Amino acid sequence: ISKINDIQVLNLHQGPTYSFKDVGCLIAASIYKQLNLEDTRTIVATSGDTGSAALNAFSKEQLPITVIFPGNERISNFQTTQMMNFHQCTVLGVHGDFDLCQQIVKKEIKKNSLLSCNSISLARFLPQVGYYIYLSHHNQHPLNLVIPCGNLGNVASAYMAKKLGCNINEIYLAFNSNKGVADYLNHFNKNK
């Protein structure tokens, strides 16, 4: 945790791939290894950072993994380069957006009984709840959180921590131009 004036910043970018998902992916890979799931492939959809974090974690545990990402330049060169530097992993770019990648992953999980390391996997999702439990534990006053997100895994982690009794007040979602969830929520709120 670092401080900028009265604002606290939870630095979650200090893992091996500079992604807040590093901890969750490392724990998920370790859990799958402990459960003797070495012969079950994990499949992941990514818009960039999940892919690198999952590839790093699963390659360390020598577990089979496939990452699917939008291959039409919708992720950064840095993230693409990171993903292409792991050995014994399958990385596939598709013509489409992240939502298409997620559709493919969900279909393959159901069809072939594969594992996931996206936020639909409790093995990755639950460790992220720990970020907000930690933050809450180090603060005496209720917190207002601003969480950058493309999808809702990180926000859902904060919300779960709040429901578990952490001193979290408001949770705000921050989006960049990849704002499909924001567009959906705004559409949903307009139609209430």
Active site residues: 21
Compute the distance between CA of residue 146 and CA of residue 151 in angstroms, rounded to an integer.
14
Contacts of 24 (CB under 8 A, 6+ apart): 53, 117, 123, 124, 125, 126, 127, 128
Number of H helices, E strands in the chain: 7, 8
Short-list 71, 136, 75, 137, CA closest to 145: 136
For residue 82, give Cα distances in angstroms to 2, 17, 53: 27, 8, 9
